[in-house]
Amino acid sequence: MLLTKPPCHRNLCAIILHSAKMLNFNGYKLSMYVDMHVVACHTNDMDPEDEKQLDGNEMYYLDFKKKDVVITKPPSLGQFSVPLWVQYALLMHKVCLYNLYVAVEAENYPPEQIVIVYPRNKVLLGRRNKLICFVNNFFPPPVKVKWTKNNVEVTEGVTLSRYYPNKDFTFRQYSTVPITPQEGDVYSCTVEHNGLPEPETRFWDTRETALCGVGLTLALLGVGIGTFFVIKGKNLN
């Protein structure tokens, strides 16, 4: 996917937020603090932001115009330096913009045919089985999946896997529903995603199984008739 700068008729903003709880051993005293890194970027000319916080107190931030770190820490935290923060902050700003542009492109160009429904095992009427709804080539995650049986929503036994990355940086995900198919049953899997203009639905019904069974029966019947004529012909000879 070719990423281009999105049109600036609207201001879009992305925020990358890193937060971690840290343990600090000070002599025999154990204390915990929250370390937070905030990165913000925009599609217009607004200044980006890169800020480091400790327990809600601003430690330092990057002045993007001067490309210099401004230390604003509380005096009680003592002296320290961050010699590599400028390079790191500039890199994180590029990552933020990239993620923002990718999200815009995904919104404008939704994937095609991302949903497939199929049975896990060979289908026999009255025999327990599972239907799998395979959702592929979507970005960004996540997706919402809903199952129905004969137009009634099904939630019992429904599973949804975590999403897995593809080589092209899109994602795939699976959802399953337990079934005991009876003649005339119709199941559907509906997928919602920000990149789709409307929810996408795929249907599966037991007629597919019935048609396969009829085809197999006719094929076996044809083999039987052919064998009968061959044997009958040999006997006549």
- In tens digits, what is the pLDDT along the chain, a chain of 237 residues? 333 333 333 445 555 655 565 555 555 566 677 778 888 887 776 778 888 888 778 888 888 888 888 888 766 656 666 778 888 888 888 888 888 777 776 666 555 567 999 999 999 999 999 999 999 988 888 899 999 999 999 999 999 999 888 887 788 999 999 999 999 999 999 999 887 889 999 999 987 654 444 443 444 444 444 433 333 444 444
Is the pTM higher than 0.75? no
Return the CATH number of the domain spanning residue range 13-108.
3.10.320.10
Cite the residue boundaries of each domain of the chain with CATH code 3.10.320.10. 13-108
CATH fold label, 115-205 = Immunoglobulin-like (2.60.40)
| Spatial distance between the Cα atoms of 126 and 100, rounded to a whole number of angstroms | 49
Cite the residue boundaries of each domain of the chain with CATH code 2.60.40.10. 115-205
Instruction: Provide the pLDDT for residue 28.
Output: 58
Which of 122-127's residues contact partners 24+ apart within 8 Å by CB, and which partners? 123/181, 123/206, 123/208, 123/209, 124/181, 124/209, 125/181, 125/182, 125/183, 125/206, 125/209, 126/180, 126/181, 126/182, 127/180, 127/181
